[in-house]
Structure 1
Amino acid sequence: MELKHLRLVSAIARHGGLTAAMDELHLSQPALSQRLSSLEKELGVTLFSRVGRRMVPTAAGELALQAAREVLDKTRGLEAKLKAMARGERVLRLGAQCYTALHWLPGIMAAFGRKHPQTRLLFVGEATHDVEQALLLGRIDVGVAHSVPDSRYFRRIPLFADELAAIVPSGHRLAGSAAIEPEELAGEVVYLHKSPGQRPGRAADFLARAGRVAASLEQIQWTDPILEFVRAGMGVGIVPTWTVPPRMRRRLHVCRLSAKGLRRDWAALVLSAHKTMPDTRDLLGLLKAAPH
């Protein structure tokens, strides 16, 4: 099937017949009838049946109509993007791992918009589960992630480091500890942040150093529920230190993980094979200079 066939199916279904579809498709009724007949013969199915004066999609026609809507919507979207590029406009897609915790990102996007009004900076939330894969598949142009292994496919721009810590409720046996080693979590329910599809992170590696010492590991996609579960006395959480708001620090104790602490190194990622455009360079500069 070609685009002209999908447009034909869509127009007939929308108008209910060939006569009403003529003006939209700029073809005569005999030409439309011949095109539809040839298509049905080639496919070996009937796409429309007559009900009174209307042409109604058959089961095969409904299947073709669904595909036509999806393909034509994408085609129109592509045309709009290409026309915007012809006018000097551009779309730059950004994805970030653990984006719900990146409180500094909206300010960067606003600053970028003021500097590059012709470039639409679009945040792709779905990329949070696997930033590297989204970048490789062309779903985003810039990724922000931590603990990314070296790869010849990516160019890494170091951004900042944050620290993971254990949080326990006031009165917990570990509440007075300045630093916690993994074996001290023996018998505890431990809550970790992990999005679907992400590989185990630094916290899981930390716990694995002493074997399976925790009573259970609960991996949760959002940070806020971890804080609430810990505050309710349901276990120990491991989160970035800056995600614990001041209002909760009166009821939660923050402990370092080992005497040296457990850091995560964040970086911006772009494809090595792609030329870095001026607006992308400016976005990388804003990411690097942001007060994290």
Structure 2
Amino acid sequence: MKPRLDLRHLQLIQAIIETGRITDAAEQLGVTPSALSHRLREAERRLDVQLFTRVHKRLRRTPAADYMAVVAERILSDLGRAEEDVRRMNAGVQHVVRLAVEAYSNYRWLPDFVKFLKSRRKGIDLQIMAGARKDPLTSIMNRNIDIAIVSGEHNQIGLSSVPLFEDPLYFIMPPSHRLAGREFIVGDDIVGEAFITYTKVPEPDKEFARLFRPTDTYPKWSTTVELPEAIVELVASGLGTSVLAGWAIQTALSEKRIVGAQVTEEGINVPWKAVLRTEDMSKEDPNYQVAELLAEWCEQSAAGFNTV
């Protein structure tokens, strides 16, 4: 049986990809270039494949190196988090729950919830994983996070959810906009409007399916911006309009940098929930305990995240 790669080889692959040179990678890892070259040859012998080719004094990675780099990033990241967990345990933390919010990076609600959590459950620490907001459900399945706060309906094998609150969608615009002052807007109102969205993928319970499609009236898709907070700033500057979750725009509304109108006369309320792995859905599991406490906190605060 051939000897396997160890963490030194994974760090080597990652460092060479980041720097492109043996000398720079060696300096980054704190070893000599000759030692690093020997380690690279050893890794290639163990894999029986070439990881890098030399082109004009730089190393160009092969497909094998690209694949190993993905594996190395995941393993080294998991190891780093494990080390951090152990250090936290020494500080009285028995469990770290990693949490992300779908699409949004507004965490004004977080301090109040952390205080509530600490008053109800000792030994649990929250770690916000903002990088997982783009595809939080996949991040849960890959065990990169433990809880995802998401909107809408999701039915994915292996995942379960705890309801949190319902939140209205708002059509947002600059204060000088022709529709400012409207209590609600309908599809006909925004035909031809410059519209900024964070996704053009139709979702069955949001504005695309419930505002635009029923009347076959659509705005002018001006740009796609994946960060809702950036959308708010663009709207405030008069560069377009958008539809966003009510809880995430409260600060900008209160500062009067934007104004909002209900979407359709009936309104579109979107359910928000805490999604976690089904295997964690037991009263003894800290992940489930945090999800339940989050639901309790939302209920006590009457309107979920809208209170902060």
In structure 2, the residue matched to 1:150 is 155
Match of 1:221 among 218, 226, 244: 226
User: For the structure 1 residues 99 and 43, does the alpha-carbon distance in structure 2 shift closer, same or farther, using more than 3 Å as the test?
Assistant: closer
1:273 aligns with 2:273: no
1:95 aligns with 2:100: yes
Q: How far does the alpha carbon of each residue in 1:248-289 deviate from its partner, in whole angstroms, 9 at most, with x for none?
A: 43x644221111111110011122233533433431232112
In structure 1, the residue matched to 2:267 is 261
On the 8 A contact 1:164/1:263 being kept in 2, the answer is: yes
Give, in angstroms, the shift of residue 231 of structure 1.
Answer: 3.3
Gaps of 5+ in 1: 21-32, 47-57
1:203 aligns with 2:210: no
On the 8 A contact 2:187/2:217 being kept in 1, the answer is: no
In structure 1, the residue matched to 2:292 is 285
User: For the structure 1 residues 6 and 216, does the alpha-carbon distance in structure 2 shift closer, same or farther, using more than 3 Å as the test?
Assistant: closer
Greater Cα offset, 239-248 or 139-148? 239-248
Q: Distance in 2 between matches of 1:41 and 1:172?
A: 66
User: For the structure 1 residues 129 and 177, does the alpha-carbon distance in structure 2 shift closer, same or farther, using more than 3 Å as the test?
Assistant: same
Match of 1:162 among 159, 163, 167: 167
In structure 2, the residue matched to 1:133 is 138
Q: Distance in 2 between matches of 1:222 and 1:5?
A: 35
Q: Distance in 2 between matches of 1:82 and 1:252?
A: 41
Aligned length: 259
User: For the structure 1 residues 41 and 129, does the alpha-carbon distance in structure 2 shift closer, same or farther, using more than 3 Å as the test?
Assistant: closer
Q: Distance in 2 between matches of 1:213 and 1:36?
A: 56
User: For the structure 1 residues 163 and 74, does the alpha-carbon distance in structure 2 shift closer, same or farther, using more than 3 Å as the test?
Assistant: closer
Q: How far does the alpha carbon of each residue in 1:99-154 deviate from its partner, in whole angstroms, 9 at most, with x for none?
A: 42342123223443465553332211122111211111211111110013233422
Q: Normalising by the residue count of structure 1, what TM-score does the alignment of the two structures yield?
A: 0.68
On the 8 A contact 2:100/2:145 being kept in 1, the answer is: yes
Q: Distance in 2 between matches of 1:17 and 1:232?
A: 52
On the 8 A contact 1:134/1:140 being kept in 2, the answer is: yes
Gaps of 5+ in 2: 13-25, 51-58
1:233 aligns with 2:238: yes
**Aligned pairs (5 A) from 1:43-62:** none
In structure 2, the residue matched to 1:2 is 4
3-state DSSP of counterpart to 1:100? coil
User: For the structure 1 residues 98 and 233, does the alpha-carbon distance in structure 2 shift closer, same or farther, using more than 3 Å as the test?
Assistant: same
On the 8 A contact 1:164/1:264 being kept in 2, the answer is: yes
In structure 2, the residue matched to 1:182 is 187
Which amino acid in the other structure matches residue 177 of structure 2? H
3-state DSSP of counterpart to 2:266? coil
Which amino acid in the other structure matches residue 285 of structure 1? E
Aligned-pair Cα RMSD in Å: 4.3
3-state DSSP of counterpart to 1:109? helix
- Identity, % of aligned pairs? 19
Larger radius of gyration: 1
User: For the structure 1 residues 44 and 148, does the alpha-carbon distance in structure 2 shift closer, same or farther, using more than 3 Å as the test?
Assistant: closer
On the 8 A contact 1:193/1:239 being kept in 2, the answer is: no
Q: How far does the alpha carbon of each residue in 1:183-204 deviate from its partner, in whole angstroms, 9 at most, with x for none?
A: 221111112344x9x7647122
In structure 1, the residue matched to 2:22 is none
In structure 2, the residue matched to 1:51 is none
